[in-house]
Amino acid sequence: MATTTDRIAQLILSNGSDAIYHRDMASTPCPCRTPEGFRDPVWHLQHPLAPDCDASGMLPSGTVDFIVKAFIQPIQSTRATRLSTEQVEQLFGEVQADDHLGIFPVYWSGRELNFFKWGLATEDWIGYNGRKFQVVNANLLPAPEGDPKGHWETGLRLLGDL
Ligand SMILES: [Zn+2]
């Protein structure tokens, strides 16, 4: 039976829009990294699609740039209003005119998307519809089955044209 995570991935695949995920991955810790600063091989066995890290739990440096399917909507559109006012405030603070809600898969074509520690100096960005957005906030939401990595809910703020 397909899990909810699979169903979300399927929904995004059939109905999502193309977005560019662009991150400068210099010295990004792998999700597996132990508090002591080592690679956790068990985590990687449990997440076979995740990119591999080095012995100290760090991902290879360099720019990651690929196209991913996502649901991206202006925050003031009807489709995004399923969020409560509190949720919107938590994501965006004060909402600005071009703020968008972005729903992203956690894994896409064998890569893992990670919106935590997003660089706010414009080295990291999301490209959508010819424009660049920064991620002002991100929540990693669990799937109903308990998988902690269900999907990403992100607050996107316009940076400018691509
Ligand atoms: Zn790792």
43 Cα to the center of ligand 1, angstroms: 7
Rounded to the nearest whole angstrom, what is the distance from the C-alpha of residue 34 to the centroid of ligand 1? 9
- What pTM did the predictor assign? 0.75
Round to whole Å and give the CA distance between 110 and 2: 18
Q: Over the chain, what is the mean pLDDT? A: 88
d(C-alpha 18, C-alpha 59), whole Å: 25
Q: CB neighbours of 73 closer than 8 A, spacing ≥ 6? A: 79, 80, 100, 101
Residue by residue, pLDDT tens for the chain (162 residues) are 567 677 777 788 888 999 999 998 766 789 999 999 899 999 999 999 888 888 889 887 788 899 999 999 999 885 656 788 888 899 999 999 999 999 999 988 888 899 988 887 788 999 999 999 999 999 999 888 888 888 999 999 999 999
Distance 54 CA to ligand 1 centre (A): 7
Ligand 1 centroid to Cα of residue 38, in Å, is: 8
Percent with pLDDT over 90 in the chain: 51
Q: How far is the CA of 15 from the centre of ligand 1 (A)?
A: 31
Cα of 35 to ligand 1 centre, how many Å?
12
